[in-house]
Structure 1
Amino acid sequence: MKSAEKEEKPGCCSSSIPQTEDGSQETEACCATEKKQQSKGQEDDCCIPEKTENTCCSSEQKSGEGIGKNPSNIQATFTVKGMDCPSCAATIEKSLQKHKGVQSVQVHYGTGKMVVGMEDASLYDSVPGQVRKLGFEAESIDSAKNSQTYKVDGMDCGSCAQTIEKHLGSHPNVNTIRVNFSTGNMEVDHSMKTNDIIKEVQKIGFDAALSSSVQEDQSKDTKKKWFTTTSIAGIFLILGFFGSFTPLPEEMISALYASAIVTGGFKPARSAFFAIKSGSLDMNVLMASAAIGAALIGEWFEGAMVVFLFALGNTLQNRSIERTRNSIRSLINLTPSQANVKSDDKWVQKPVEDVKVNDVMLIKPGEKLPLDGEILSGTSSVNQAPITGESMPVDKQPGDKVYAGTVNENGALEVKVTKLVDDTTIAKIIHLVEEAQEKKAPTQAFVDRFASVYTPIVFTLALLVMIVPPLAGFGSWGEWLYKGLALLVVACPCALVISTPVAIVSAIGNAAKNGVLIKGGTFLEKAGVIQAMTFDKTGTLTEGKPKVAEVVSFGSERKEVLRIARTIEEHSTHPIAESIISYAKERSLAPFQGTAFQSVAGKGAQATIDGTEYFVGNPKLFKDMNVSLDEMEKQINTLQEKGSTIVLVGTRHEVLGLIAVADTIRDITVQSIQKLKQVGMKEIVMLTGDNNGTAKKIADETGVDRYFAELLPEDKVQAVQKLQKEGKPVAMIGDGINDAPALATADLGVAMGGAGTDTAMETADIVLMADNLEKLPHTIRLSRKALTIIKQNVWFSLITKVAALLLIFPGLLTLWMAVLADTGAALIVILNSMRLLRIKS
């Protein structure tokens, strides 16, 4: 899902195209926000750069269906989750359009929004149910605003989340519910009291608390309580075990083991009851069945060990998983809760929630900024590492942007607030990262589908093992019942199910702390297999700001040439003119008194100084005035081949000097490209609209392997497609809306400078918050490490299960060993995934 700004617009063809100040429409932006809606090659169903008309119609809009068809109907807007391709959107549209009373349906796959036109408002509540039947989740945008978010403790894997969803989803006062195991978040739209929701969750063996510091502290106390019951169960188990070596009666030893089962097994048994009631088959059901079965056949020690190891394993898993979830929550604590705001010429402390746009804040040295803003007065260095990941503080002066959560290193600043607390850059980062952590990666989706089939099959197999062999006369009932119970324990695919999401959460959290936004597990996996990287030159590899590279004088002094140039260029806003003015200012060269300033379209400018006409412009300007350039032609050509733009200074009769202006390479560019090659990037490619000479010079200086020069925006798209046809997964790195078509075409779109542009944060797959490439090698290395760890987790989980299954039938695997293998494997998978949190840039 790409653009948050565009989600509120029902259509794509016109309204979703951003409007510029003069009212024109930017087709490229439209293409970017709707990018990857269709699989590669289906260009007829979405924008392509060759199209010049202001349209961006998807296939469903072209069909003639849509809200515009009947503007008088009742409209309702929903968010739709679960769509993984545009055909899903088409399925929803076709199905709902057949529903009586529905006049029109428009589903946007790119934004995940659905607009439904209805004859009667009574149909409003039935829409989510109809969508759910199709295998998707629909939620009213209005109800989403009134929903509450809770933190849930005690979930061990995705099946726990499903149990909570099914239990609360069946409650008449709950409209919608969504539980995400990876982040521990539960979003509920309901008409109940908060405490009633918490009690319902506690009924099924979990703990819930509203997302605030007070409730989170309460949840920590609750976790300690569950750890106490585990400890008590362990004490009973130890007493029973050592008691078996004493003359204690057998009944007393069994009673101690039974006490351990009841104490440690109460919570999972209660959870198992509600799981069965809601139609789920989770690990609590399997473990409770194994413990009860062991007790029924007289294996009290086995039952007690199953319960204790399961409870202990859950406690350790919960604490480990919570550490990965906290990888992004820690960002929330970066911003102060109070701001020092000017009120009637006095500075007063206000909660950040009460601060309004255009209020003025005072930020003292060493303080964190509470909100985003613009500096009104004062100069300082600001540590922006929490937002951009930049290692060095950035110098700031009046007019510069500053961000909430960053640290004012020295010098007091007065800052005008530009964004409310919920709209700050860091708030957007937290929101986008949490959304990203909740999106399933392809590997995770596959594993979930596999587990949903695997668990019922093994459960059925366990029942058959308990019944068929003894009926057929192969061994005793007790022997096969025991093996069936062990098989039940092995049936739990906990380690396999959490093998991917914990790794994804850890990697995305690590990236966010280093100033990189990865929009979801899909893009993390894509980044891990990228073989070719294409860079836009201007503003990405280079500063994008031309600077004076060389000044040459012919008969006049260099200072005089620069003073004449500054005098004329001060009346121009062209970037080249600004670079010449800055160069002269740095050398304290004042302008002359000039008159009769005039622009020469496409060639330069002129002015009269002390009665003489002077000109500043390109060689063509002087050739048109028949000024001879023979003596300097060779020098001009040499400088142009080096990538410089030539500005000549002179009169109608002679050239007094030349100024060579060139775009400078970013300080971090060469280092970043070298690091990309070190992490295994096969090809680095540069795309530029500049001439071949400039492209070659930049390529040689930066170390890129290949370049494409003299490109228009649509040519950049073709260059990306050419690389894709060569069989390379391609990433495109750009710095703005001009690169949108190429960013959309590439397998992975990476935008730079996200901290300064909302568009970049919303449209790209991966966003480098800093305005440089410093964190790009870290992103690729992190993604590749994440892929490696996911593969390790999946294979380890499968091999552990297979080994356990093979050991059951010879009688080599006891019940408690099966539990130890299951919980141990899950814990190892979690700890292996947590290594991603420690990878440093």
Structure 2
Amino acid sequence: MKTSFRERVISVTGMTCANCVATVERTLLKLPGVEEATVNYASERATVRFDPAEVSLDQMIERIERAGYGVVRGQEGVELTEAEAITRDEEIAFQSRKFWTGVAFAGPLFVLSMFRDFGLLGSWANDSWVNWLMFALATPVQFWVGWDYYVGAWKSLGNRAANMDVLVALGSSAAFGWSAMVTVALTNGTVVFGTHVYFETAALIITLIKLGKLLEVRAKGETGAAIRELLELRPNSANRITESGEESVPADEICVGDVLLVRPGERVAADGSVIEGATSVDESMLTGESLPVEKLDGAPVTGGTVNLTGAFKMRVERVGSDSALAQIVRMVGDAQGSRAPIQRTADRVAAVFVPTVIVIGIVTWAVWWFGTEADFTESLMRFVAVLVIACPCALGLATPTAVMAGTGRAAGRGILFRSSEALERARDLSVVLLDKTGTITRGQPTVQSVVSDEEVSLLGGADEYVRLAASVEALSEHPIARAVVEEAESRLLDISAVEEFKVIPGQGVSGRVEHRSVAVGTSALMTHLGVEGVIEWTSRAEDLEAGAQTPLWVAVDGRMAGLIGVADAVKETSVAAVAALRSRGLRVIMLTGDREAVANVIAQEVGINEVYAEVLPSEKAQVISQLKERARGAVAMVGDGINDAPALAVADVGMALGTGTDVAMETADLVLMRGDLRTVSEALALSERTLRTIEQNLFWAFFYNASLIPVAAGVLYSVAFLPTVLRSLHPILAALAMAFSSISVVANSLRLRRVRIPGLPSEN
């Protein structure tokens, strides 16, 4: 029996570093029926592929919670995103309270400790009660502000996977516990443990790391701002037209089939089509296109766009999760929650990071205690510094924060990446194949010529065979078929019913109209059907092709009746788009099912040197597979996402040109919503910049840990010319450095939301 797998996104809270990601993944994968589980630290989402017959969503949530993490309750899509935003706001408020509580106690404690150490206070400062005062100030910080670290450490050890909480809890507890022992001993009149206490060190470690956590939560929220901005496009209410008149209703109550009135300045509340009125609409928030789009009777309108000029009525066709806006939010969320291949190295390091740091800390303490003249407390502080300065968070944040910021920036330009893997592959392209119709050309072919010969024609005139051809083509969804139908309508010809209608893929259509056998398509179709007179019409077809017209061969009752020349104008932006791709060193190829002569004329017009013409839809995938074997890099296919579905699926990167509402193109890795070929180059520029940011983040995360952990261990102690702060790194400075490390990675990723990227036009 075939297994029916489902995919579900679960929002997970309480993760503190990359090790938590691995723990949640392992926890889910242990459940029977879970085939795949991918957790993203920055977006705090787990994407799970599972068999609902073996495991339920409640079971997965229960197992995550048993592992010590929280789950945001809510349905998928928009509702889950809104619930996550509320949870994040609550987390920021919680972390803020913790931090300011830490400041309230650690601040006076630090001042008291420093003043005493520098002899700025009287002899009373050395009395034992002062140590107890310090103990009293440090205890709330250690066990209330820092309680999260103890809970997290305990649960992570229970899961047999040490995380950052273990390092913080162990390091701060060592300083606090030793100081408590010294305080008790001094009160009892013994100096067996020395006289110096480090309460301020323990308190400031927790407070500074809590500051880093607070800033990290806020910054992670910023990387996901693209989804929030999309959600804000939804209006709260709409004007619904009923039999009794107009009423204002909440947007959530709108149903398919409702008629809405949209006034100038209002946002469209749902997807649908104009049924009365004319206007212009601002679609820039969805497509990145700043120019208004004219909307006449029958034109599609998308929820979230802004009506600019005239009032109009619309009929609702899609609401809720079926709307274009909801699909965009879901697609951006999927991309931001996925894991890029470049993250794998960081994941492997993170898996052994914390245990390795603990071992380094113990070795550091042992070397300083047994191998030098340092006393126990100095050796202990080296141990604490090593634990506290280590930062697995930076490793976990390096890739996902950049992916979230980069895909969010792309969404603002009307470029939707389906996954971070597609984002990464787009940087490695060497070949780009472009479909002709609808990609390079407008995709709106029109009839340019009607060629007939009264001596050969069986019908006595061009109008009659155009009428018959249009009758058959009326049942086809191909753009060229629509052009023939529109030509017949412009000639005021009646379209008749068709019997025995057949579609011959890549060749044309046939059927019976008024007891006549009619075939419309390529010369290959005519030959296949054994039509008479094909040879006599060949030179005329070649004349049409020389003028960039695609000849449609029309046969009636087994004999040639005429030719219909159809042309599709090249988009104004195609020449610049091809030039931009070639300037990147890419090999640009046209891949089309059209006649070779027509394809060559169009290719020459836009600057393409290589053409694969007369390729059937089923053969396009084979061409791409062959190119992938020979290409030095990845191969991309750009098409309309419907007729080119097999080719898009086979390509390393499939790009579908949309129209602002065509976002549900399942086979495409990227959806370019503007329908503008120049956005291919924009997508590549964004991919390059995002991957460069990831590499910068990973370099910083590895460099930080590889260089500062040895400094904390004291390897520079014997270098006399260095300042003391580097030769003997204090745990407080180590905690500050650790907090800075995470924030610097997130801040670098956030630059993607604002930095000027070469290749992108100015954003309005």
Give the TM-score of the pair, scaled to structure 1: 0.68
Residue of structure 2 aligned with 1:284, choices 148, 162, 165: 165
Aligned with 1:532: secondary structure?
strand
Q: What does residue range 42-121 of structure 1 map to in structure 2 within 5 Å?
A: 66-67=1-2, 106=3
1:359 lines up with 2:263 in the alignment: no
1:161 positional shift: 6.0
Amino acid at match of 2:441: T
Aligned counterparts of 1:447 and 1:361: Cα–Cα separation in 2: 51
Structure 2 residue runs of 5 or longer lacking an equivalent are 31-36, 48-55, 72-79, 180-196, 455-460, 503-507, 514-519, 555-559, 718-726
Aligned counterparts of 1:714 and 1:570: Cα–Cα separation in 2: 26
Percent of aligned positions that are identical: 29
CA contact (8 A) 2:268 2:304 kept: yes
Aligned with 2:633: secondary structure?
coil
Number of the residue aligned with 1:55: none
Number of the residue aligned with 2:222: 323
Aligned counterparts of 1:790 and 1:628: Cα–Cα separation in 2: 61
1:687 positional shift: 0.6
1:429 lines up with 2:328 in the alignment: yes
Number of the residue aligned with 2:189: none
1:563 positional shift: 8.3
Aligned counterparts of 1:647 and 1:494: Cα–Cα separation in 2: 63
Residue of structure 2 aligned with 1:645, choices 550, 563, 575: 550
Number of the residue aligned with 1:14: none
Aligned counterparts of 1:267 and 1:690: Cα–Cα separation in 2: 72
Number of the residue aligned with 2:749: 833
CA contact (8 A) 1:755 1:770 kept: yes
String of CA shifts for 1:721-763, please: whole Å, max 9, x gaps: 2221223311112213332222222112222227544651x33
Q: Which moved more, 1:499-508 or 1:214-223?
A: 214-223
Q: What does residue range 781-820 of structure 1 map to in structure 2 within 5 Å?
A: 781-807=685-711, 808-809=713-714, 810-811=716-717, 812=727, 813-820=729-736
Aligned counterparts of 1:796 and 1:151: Cα–Cα separation in 2: 27
Number of the residue aligned with 2:150: 273
Residue of structure 1 aligned with 2:241, choices 331, 339, 342: 342
1:107 positional shift: 6.6
Amino acid at match of 1:303: A
String of CA shifts for 1:418-454, please: whole Å, max 9, x gaps: 2232321211221232222222111223312211112
Aligned with 2:121: secondary structure?
coil
CA contact (8 A) 1:504 1:521 kept: yes
Residue of structure 1 aligned with 2:642, choices 737, 743, 747: 737
Amino acid at match of 1:320: A
Structure 1 residue runs of 5 or longer lacking an equivalent are 1-65, 68-105, 113-140, 171-176, 556-560, 608-615, 650-654
String of CA shifts for 1:369-390, please: whole Å, max 9, x gaps: 1111222222222222222333
Q: 1:768/1:210 Cα in 2 relative to 1: closer, same or farther (>3 Å)?
A: closer
Q: What does residue range 671-682 of structure 1 map to in structure 2 within 5 Å?
A: 671-678=576-583, 680-682=584-586
1:356 positional shift: 1.9
Residue of structure 1 aligned with 2:115, choices 239, 243, 250: 243
Number of the residue aligned with 2:605: 701
Residue of structure 1 aligned with 2:573, choices 655, 663, 668: 668
Aligned counterparts of 2:499 and 2:218: Cα–Cα separation in 1: 72
Number of the residue aligned with 1:822: 738
Aligned with 2:232: secondary structure?
helix
Q: Which moved more, 1:437-446 or 1:493-502?
A: 437-446
Aligned counterparts of 1:202 and 1:825: Cα–Cα separation in 2: 26
Number of the residue aligned with 1:683: 587
Number of the residue aligned with 1:89: none
CA contact (8 A) 2:648 2:667 kept: no
Aligned counterparts of 2:498 and 2:25: Cα–Cα separation in 1: 73
CA contact (8 A) 2:262 2:307 kept: yes
String of CA shifts for 1:511-562, please: whole Å, max 9, x gaps: 222222212221111112122111222222222332245799999xxxxx99
CA contact (8 A) 1:236 1:257 kept: no
Number of the residue aligned with 1:748: 653
Aligned with 2:235: secondary structure?
coil
1:492 positional shift: 3.0
Number of the residue aligned with 1:35: none
Aligned with 1:731: secondary structure?
strand
1:502 positional shift: 0.7
RMSD: 4.8
Aligned counterparts of 1:820 and 1:159: Cα–Cα separation in 2: 21
1:151 positional shift: 8.0
String of CA shifts for 1:227-268, please: whole Å, max 9, x gaps: 422442463256336634522414687667656644544456
1:629 positional shift: 8.1
CA contact (8 A) 2:164 2:354 kept: no
Aligned counterparts of 2:497 and 2:400: Cα–Cα separation in 1: 69
1:830 positional shift: 0.9
Give the TM-score of the pair, scaled to structure 2: 0.74
Number of the residue aligned with 1:777: 681
Aligned counterparts of 1:408 and 1:464: Cα–Cα separation in 2: 68
CA contact (8 A) 2:636 2:652 kept: yes
Aligned counterparts of 2:521 and 2:154: Cα–Cα separation in 1: 82
Aligned counterparts of 2:498 and 2:24: Cα–Cα separation in 1: 75
For these two proteins, the number of residue pairs brought into alignment is: 666
Aligned counterparts of 2:494 and 2:218: Cα–Cα separation in 1: 74
Amino acid at match of 1:181: Y
Aligned counterparts of 1:209 and 1:230: Cα–Cα separation in 2: 31
Aligned counterparts of 1:320 and 1:282: Cα–Cα separation in 2: 21
1:159 positional shift: 4.2
Structure with the greater relative contact order (CA < 8 A, sep ≥ 6): 1 or 2? 2
Amino acid at match of 2:121: P
Q: What does residue range 134-213 of structure 1 map to in structure 2 within 5 Å?
A: 152=13, 156-159=16-19, 180-184=40-44, 211=83
